[in-house]
Structure 1
Amino acid sequence: MSLEIVPDPAAKAAANAGVPDESYDVDVPYTPDPEQVAAVEKYEDRFLDRELSWMRFNQRVLELAEDERLPLLERTRFLAIFTSNLDEFFMVRVAGLKRRIAAGLAVRAASGLMPREVLEQIWTTTRELTRRQAELFRDQIVPALREHDIELVRWDDLSPEEQKYCKKLFKSRIFPVLTPLAVDPAHPFPYISGLSLNLAVLIRNPQTGKDHFARVKVPPIFDRFVPLGSSGTGARFVPLEDVIGAHLKRLFPGMEVLEAHTFRVTRNEDLEVEEDDAENILAALEKELLRRRFGPPVRLEVEESISDSVLDLLKEELDVTADEVFRLPGPLDLRGLHGIADLSHEVLKYPAFVPTTHPRLAEVESAAPVDVFKAARRHDILLHHPYDSFATSVQRFIEQAAADPHVLAIKQTLYRTSGDSPIIDALIDAAEAGKQVLVIVEIKARFDEQANIRWARKLEQAGCHVVYGLVGLKTHCKLAMVVRDEGEQWGIRRYTHIGTGNYNSKTARLYEDLGLITTDEQVGEDVAHLFNNLSGWSRNASYQQLLVAPDSVRLGLVDQIHREIAHHQAGRPAAIRLKANSVVDEAVIDALYLASQEGVPVQLLVRGICALRPGVPGLSENITVRSVLGRFLEHSRVFSFENGGEPVTWIGSADMMHRNLDRRVEVLVRLPDPESVEEVRGLLDLAFAPTTDAWELESDGSWTRNVGDVHLQETLIERQRRRRTSS
């Protein structure tokens, strides 16, 4: 992977257009010479494997569940999150590895590993981590919950009264829903849906003495853990499959039930839509969604008590190898622990937190909400969710625009939104009021495709102009623009919101994100051009305050990294700090390696995957990598440069991954207000402080917990509480 990037002139101009020259007081633009390039590229093992790095990320999630300093029900929730994360990883990433191997397209990754080698390490690590999860659940979480009168028990632990209650429940509610499916010459092996929990049942006909196999699906419409009633603040729960397993004779009357074991299949659920060949991408995607349900299996989880004969049958019928089988202590599928974590035991949870309205949007001596437009005209508004309320900022911005008679048009991108989205409702209201409403809906947002198709059609029916993005690219940027007529004195003014997170009122309470509401004319002009690119045939790739993928994000950031090197060489202040979900792109990493070799300090805050090796002598000893996990999902992307003493900071939607930089429409905006720049730099100061609790990446790819006295998120919550008290 080469460090040197030689763009075509148009792309180079686009990148430079996003980096105003006057902000870089550099005498001569820095370009690495061949010797410097070679000094980086001689380290052939300089990239960590992205899939194995993801496994390390999920291990950090598991370590949160193991952390006895956290409230008990929060630890329980992290066990459920660990399971959900691993499910998606197998459905997409492992499925992709298997597909490449099967197609004969297996090529060596940047890490130097072949797909087969990566797959084998994934299997080994998964066995280790899932065994660790099961033991943590059984040996620590269950006993700790019991001490607080929350009991997770198995069928044999139930009292006669509780078994009687379950028998009645089974008869009245569960039994009518169940559909036992037998396997014999007249009944082929049934289709097993992905991530469903099932019972593999071996029965015998007492008249013939012949054994038969049957499958019973555990209905997902019921609670995963069945409540057995409560007394005081306590409660007892039994897994739903235990209740079904204890009453199998009712499903197979006249037959002898020999064995019953739970199992679960994970399937390839990644989508492959050939957009160039599809006359209608909406119809093509709907067809592909149907196909996804029948993707090939990539993992089989079974309870460790399963007999070899039943397991062999499952392996043969599902066409899975021994490597893809994971024998685990029961119960399987700990996603159901979300239901336990939701119990109303507040003393076992994080202290209640309510976001507050941003100070510039807070009501003053009035019961009426602040006019977002008036506030934005006075000053840029930098939002930090979930500490700043999404409802009283971004949502109110769109709602006021929909109701304001002076607003002429609203343009917005939607990647993921909530099921009862106030944003969708506001856009519909605006269209019905006669405003021009353009919505760029990304219907290929992974696992939200069906919901986005539904919202797209609803918006179209209301009169909105709905565009499904660009062929071959996912529209991942987070943009909203309101065009307002402000009379003869001011004319037409654009109000823009550019964020790092989705327009989703639910996840905005759980995801840490940044957003900018501004009336900056150049930002508004850039965003207007970009919407024209997305909705029409315009191909303007030149922006003054934006970096836009796939044209200029990589080039623009690498150029800024090079300029930091030039500042350092000229004796001016130079430093690089990046915050992202993932850092994988080799060109960006190589540029950071070069900065390190030249003496520029580099700090990365990476929530998930990081392919960069820090602390390698001669290569990256000036680079440190941290990871913060906790109550909120760290989701914002920040790119901060010391810039010779005139700091520059960008925020936006792009992670440093190939898919973001090459196959998505992503946007970074340069913060136009020095006060906003300093605010973000202060957040980074706190994140990288030596006393802040975080994981630190070692050069071998392992992570070490730095158990500091300061927790980033709790500190920001406390700041927000003090702000609310003093207001």
Structure 2
Amino acid sequence: MKYFNRDQSWVEFNARILNEGMRKDNPLMERIKFLGIVSTNFDEFFEVRIASMKRAIADGTAEEGTEKILSKISERCHRLIGHLYDELHRDVMEELPKFGVRYISVNDFSEQQRAFAGTFFQNEIFPLLTPLRSEGRFPHFPGNEVFIAFKVSMIDGVKNQSAWLDGAEKSPRVSFVQIPRSLERIIWLPSDGDEKHFTMIDDIILEFGTSLFPGFSVESAMLFSIDRDADMGVDEESSQFIEAMEDVIASRHNSFAVRLICSKCSEEDEELICTLAENLGLSDEDVYRIKGPLHPEDFSVVEETAARNALVGIPAVFEPWKTFSPMKKSNKSVWELVESGDRLIFLPYESFDPVTKLIESAADDPKVLAIKMTLYRTERNSAIVKSLIRAARNGKQVTVFVELKARFDEERNISWASQLEKSGAIVIYGIVNLKVHGKAMMIIRRESDGIRRYVHLSTGNYNAKTAKIYSDLALLSTNPEIANDITLFFNLISGYSALQTMKQIAVAPINLKSRLLSMIKREAESSTPENPGMIVAKMNALGHEEIIDALYEASRKGVRILLNIRGICQLVPGIPGQSENITVVSIVGRYLEHARAVYFKNSGNEEIYLSSADWMPRNLDRRVELLFPILDKKCFSEIKDDLMMYFDDDTHSSILQSDGTWLPAPAGGKFSVQKQLHEKYRMQNEIAKKKAVEFKIRRK
């Protein structure tokens, strides 16, 4: 086998996250988070990848073997999702009381709780519910919402009074109710003592929903949710591009169904499930019958209560790790700090604050003339975007490249783009047929000796929220060659410009892939038995066949290749004559590994590059991405040490086998790379404190 299947490899990545959710040495609320991530990951996987495969099969454009692969994926997904809900139902719910929190089913309500739930239903829930009849055809069900199907029959003696209804002679009938998205799904109940009790809004509606159908009895009821196709294109040439994107967002609720998830269902519901699946155009393998609540990610709201009420010695969440920023300990201005030498920021061990503060300072600094940056994904209440808006209002030239095609963030990006334009900023809505995924910012400032350009380049987004949980690397620099290259980059993506010669930076889809291939080939050609070459790379996904083939060739030439791949890996390691010199590890821990970096031994003239791009066809061929070098010796040494550290992890690592399975680290491991990195940057912070200038008062 030369390449693993991309989608099967992704499913195995989700399996590794599931393993973290099942680890008993992880705190309970962290396990719930991992289970919630698995659930939302599968939603997106079905909405995008499975939808794409189904569409290709339907229109006859699918590659040979797609249906067989789809069947294998379905079988594996059913097994994993079964494990997910078994874990949630069997272990997690039973352990919650250790943390002063207990889930109470309606069958276990006390009289006080039943009275509370009944009143809550009548006052808070009932006015929001709209039961929908199903005679003739089923109503439309938007994707990712939770519905309840009630099977009802008319009570004897009431029949004639309802004869005016269509189909009144038919019994039983089905009515559908959407659970209101405006209400929390976790409902706290009155309880005696210190233990906090909760139930689900689903359970309350199931229990008291009979009042929705006066004159009818409820024979059975079940919960369900639907995943719909979200992999829809947009007319890139449209003169009304924003309106076209808004149409895409709206159409996701009306696209074809790809998965039906049912909960609280019994044997009596099977006929209804089959009818519902048939109405949605789904086969039985597209139906997932689960135990427990839909969308377990909603359980995250109990975290604060669980952490507060946990029994002594049993943590509910990970011990908090403080983020550090040695730059804070200096008495220099932010401009002086960046100007004094390249600065590396390793999130989330180091704080994102210097980046936020740099842009905030630029917005109000009279010496700042212009700000240019790319925005791919940012948070809802972004301080960075607010600073850009303020900078534009303060008369600075602000140019922002807002990528409207960032899937599932389109609506937010459209809103930010509109606000930026209203403030006077120049907004560029991406590039036709390409996504701008590169992360770059440049601040142009007039100083006593002329114009100076301050550059920030990153492997991750300008998002202060994800910066606390995503592991990313970023560079702050005033290096003239890098600044000049980034100036050319911004000109390239904003106007009519052929790619001019860049001394340090490579740009996809123009020359980034060819640069990588050239460096891999160089490593292979210089490798000897006495002095073998070495490549160490870290990324989210590896699936570009040209890159994989180049790595195979380098392996055959004796190059030692260490790959740290968080998710998809289509490269097959450990095959004699092909990849016996390649090792692939994956780290899944408390932080999401998101940084992209690559090291080349280069016959002793070592090089390290950071990048926004994974080694996937979409990144190297269909996106605007950046690859940039680490030139500063201190920064270089830091990254090299950190890269190598990942291959020593024996607590949260898995090693890819040649048959496609992942071998997890055995129990009892001692070295966690994420914990070690936190300790490393904590120590650096302590050293920075000691170096900070102290003013001492001289006394007699």
TM-score by length of 1: 0.89
Q: For residues 232 and 498 of structure 1, do their structure 2 counterparts lie closer, same or farther at Cα, with a shift above 3 Å needed?
A: farther
1:563-586 deviations in Å (ceiling 9; x for gaps): 111221395452001100000000
Distance 1:661 1:725 in 2: 40
Distance 1:405 1:690 in 2: 48
Distance 2:417 2:58 in 1: 36
Distance 1:486 1:344 in 2: 53
Partner of 1:409: 370
Q: Any idea what SS the aligned residue of 1:582 has? A: coil
Distance 2:232 2:192 in 1: 47
Partner of 1:111: none
Q: Any idea what SS the aligned residue of 1:437 has? A: strand
1:173-212 correspondence to structure 2 within 5 Å: 173-185=124-136, 188-206=137-155, 207=159, 208=169, 210-212=171-173
Q: Please say if 1:379 is aligned against 2:379.
A: no
Partner of 2:99: 148
Partner of 1:263: 224
Q: Please say if 1:121 is aligned against 2:77.
A: no
Partner of 1:363: 329
1:682-709 deviations in Å (ceiling 9; x for gaps): 0012101264641110011110111431
Q: Any idea what SS the aligned residue of 1:47 has? A: coil
Q: Which amino acid aligns with 2:434?
A: L
Q: Any idea what SS the aligned residue of 1:429 has? A: helix
Gaps of 5+ in 2: 160-168, 309-314, 690-700
Partner of 2:293: 331
Q: Please say if 1:164 is aligned against 2:115.
A: yes
Asked if the contact 2:112/2:190 (under 8 Å) is kept, the reply is no
Q: For residues 541 and 274 of structure 1, do their structure 2 counterparts lie closer, same or farther at Cα, with a shift above 3 Å needed?
A: farther
Residue 376 (structure 1) shift: 1.1
1:290 pairs, out of 228, 238, 250, with 250
Distance 1:93 1:497 in 2: 33
Residue 541 (structure 1) shift: 4.7
Distance 1:687 1:495 in 2: 31
Asked if the contact 1:416/1:445 (under 8 Å) is kept, the reply is yes
Q: Any idea what SS the aligned residue of 2:232 has? A: coil
Distance 2:114 2:297 in 1: 25
Partner of 1:348: 316
Q: For residues 644 and 230 of structure 1, do their structure 2 counterparts lie closer, same or farther at Cα, with a shift above 3 Å needed?
A: farther
Q: Which amino acid aligns with 2:321?
A: F
Residue 712 (structure 1) shift: 1.1
1:63 pairs, out of 19, 26, 33, with 19
Q: Please say if 1:655 is aligned against 2:604.
A: no
Distance 2:686 2:501 in 1: 45
1:619-634 correspondence to structure 2 within 5 Å: 619-634=578-593
Partner of 2:406: 445
1:34-53 correspondence to structure 2 within 5 Å: 45-53=1-9
Q: Please say if 1:492 is aligned against 2:451.
A: yes
Q: Which amino acid aligns with 1:301?
A: I
Partner of 1:309: 271
Deviates more, 1:329-338 or 1:236-245: 329-338
Partner of 2:164: none
Name the Cα RMSD after superposition. 1.6
Residue 233 (structure 1) shift: 5.2
Q: For residues 48 and 439 of structure 1, do their structure 2 counterparts lie closer, same or farther at Cα, with a shift above 3 Å needed?
A: same
Residue 141 (structure 1) shift: 1.2
Asked if the contact 1:647/1:677 (under 8 Å) is kept, the reply is no
1:222-237 correspondence to structure 2 within 5 Å: 222-229=183-190, 234-237=195-198
Asked if the contact 1:79/1:337 (under 8 Å) is kept, the reply is no
Asked if the contact 2:143/2:252 (under 8 Å) is kept, the reply is no
Residue 116 (structure 1) shift: 0.8
Asked if the contact 1:512/1:633 (under 8 Å) is kept, the reply is yes
Q: Please say if 1:390 is aligned against 2:391.
A: no
Residue 316 (structure 1) shift: 2.3
Partner of 1:27: none
Q: Which amino acid aligns with 2:339?
A: R
Partner of 1:673: 632
Deviates more, 1:214-223 or 1:528-537: 214-223
1:83-123 deviations in Å (ceiling 9; x for gaps): 01111100100001011111110114xxxxx2211211111
Partner of 1:399: 360
Q: Please say if 1:528 is aligned against 2:528.
A: no
Asked if the contact 2:88/2:292 (under 8 Å) is kept, the reply is no
Q: Which amino acid aligns with 1:120?
A: S
Distance 2:277 2:647 in 1: 48
Deviates more, 1:629-638 or 1:205-214: 205-214
Q: For residues 349 and 60 of structure 1, do their structure 2 counterparts lie closer, same or farther at Cα, with a shift above 3 Å needed?
A: same
Q: Any idea what SS the aligned residue of 1:139 has? A: helix
Asked if the contact 2:32/2:296 (under 8 Å) is kept, the reply is no
Distance 1:82 1:510 in 2: 16
Distance 2:298 2:651 in 1: 32
1:509-528 correspondence to structure 2 within 5 Å: 509-528=468-487
Partner of 1:6: none
Higher relative contact order (CA 8 A, sep 6+): 1
2:43 pairs, out of 87, 96, 101, with 87
Partner of 1:54: 10
| Paired residues, number | 666
1:275 pairs, out of 215, 222, 236, with 236
Partner of 1:644: 603
Residue 70 (structure 1) shift: 0.9
1:632-688 deviations in Å (ceiling 9; x for gaps): 110000011111112100001000111111111000101121211111110012101
Distance 1:291 1:79 in 2: 29
Asked if the contact 1:482/1:495 (under 8 Å) is kept, the reply is yes
Q: Any idea what SS the aligned residue of 1:715 has? A: helix
Partner of 1:246: 207
Asked if the contact 2:32/2:297 (under 8 Å) is kept, the reply is no
Distance 2:351 2:399 in 1: 25
Q: Any idea what SS the aligned residue of 1:143 has? A: helix
Distance 1:157 1:233 in 2: 18
Q: Percent identity?
A: 37
Distance 1:641 1:212 in 2: 67
Q: Any idea what SS the aligned residue of 1:356 has? A: coil
Distance 2:12 2:656 in 1: 10
Q: Which amino acid aligns with 1:196?
A: E
Q: Any idea what SS the aligned residue of 2:648 has? A: coil
Distance 1:639 1:645 in 2: 15
Q: Any idea what SS the aligned residue of 1:688 has? A: helix
Q: Which amino acid aligns with 2:383?
A: P
Distance 1:457 1:78 in 2: 35
Partner of 2:698: none
Distance 1:624 1:199 in 2: 48
Residue 335 (structure 1) shift: 2.0
1:154-176 deviations in Å (ceiling 9; x for gaps): 21122222111111111111111
Q: Which amino acid aligns with 2:84?
A: Q
Gaps of 5+ in 1: 1-44, 109-113
Partner of 1:135: 86
Asked if the contact 2:100/2:306 (under 8 Å) is kept, the reply is no
Asked if the contact 2:131/2:177 (under 8 Å) is kept, the reply is yes
Q: Any idea what SS the aligned residue of 2:507 has? A: strand
Q: Which amino acid aligns with 2:516?
A: L
